[in-house]
Amino acid sequence: MRVAAEGAHPALEHRVRSARAELEHTDQQLTRFEPDSALSRLNAAEASVVAAGPLLRDHVTAALWAAQRSAGLVDPTLLDAIEAAGYRKSLVGVPAPDVDAALTAAPARGKAAPSSAGAWQRVCVDDASGTITRPPGVRIDLGGTAKGHAADRALRLLTGARHAIVDCGGDLALGGSAARPHAVLVDHPRTGETVATLRVTQGGVATSGMTRRAWLRDGDGWAHHLLDPSTGEPCWSGLLSATAVGATALEAEVLAKMAFLRGAEGARRLLRRRGGVIVHEDGDVEVLTNQPAHTLRVRRHPRERWVVAR
């Protein structure tokens, strides 16, 4: 988590500290890996109506917005499925997975689809009563939406900054009063080399991919954390990653995940309006803009240099 701001406002340094404290508090309260977090207490509750504080309610509301925005493709009620796939504890500090082995063993490629029975449709946040209602046994995983929404919330604390950047686990919220755009470098998920520069004045940028959160199942092949809601299984869409630009970091997070789950064709249609980058399993990179004639396809040259084809 990183917060950076530039400006002459006398309270800016204090606001930067407040934004950092907000991110740390959010991380503590919304992790599913600590049993005493607000999210874990909600998931452990046997009652269908559970008292919840404003932070948790706000983030569950954001997760439900993401589900609606994606027509159920970004589903916050897949916690049982992701744990069944093997993601039961934090992967922070775990060595990078063998992506080649995972791709070789992966099933046939295909795009994801929403589940018609998505339990998120029966989750309700009531701010007046301070409660969250969900069917008994339904557990919530805030996942990437919490990163994007937390970055947006922290950015709002940085009033008076000419330039402001909040980085929450790779989800960027960008703002400030100056009109000069931020240059956001997009790195290749395999090599770490910069393959594109996105220029964003206000809004968000996020990347969703399978190269960092993949693992070897116990005697049952490979898995990663981006699930197909219609099957509850990891989605092997033919992409390594998708990077999206949005009006907010939350929207960018949702668009990036949708793009990955839809595969290359769906990602192209989705990302061209605001811009983005997709990286194919073979290492090819496509830099997408809102002008199809300017879309670039970048392929990996055997001699370790980038070749750009228009």
Region 43-63 average pLDDT: 97
Fold of the domain built from segment(s) 2-309: T-fold (3.10.520)
Tell me the domain boundaries of the chain: 2-309
Residue 263: name the closest of 238, 297, 230, 299 by CA: 238
pLDDT in tens, 112-155: 999 999 999 999 999 999 999 999 899 999 988 999 999 999 99
Phi, psi of 183 (to 5 degrees): -95, 115
175/95: higher pLDDT: 175
Q: In angstroms, rounded to a whole number, what is the distance separating the alpha carbons of residues 44 and 211?
A: 30
pLDDT in tens, 214-268: 998 876 789 999 999 999 999 999 999 999 999 999 999 999 999 999 999 999 9
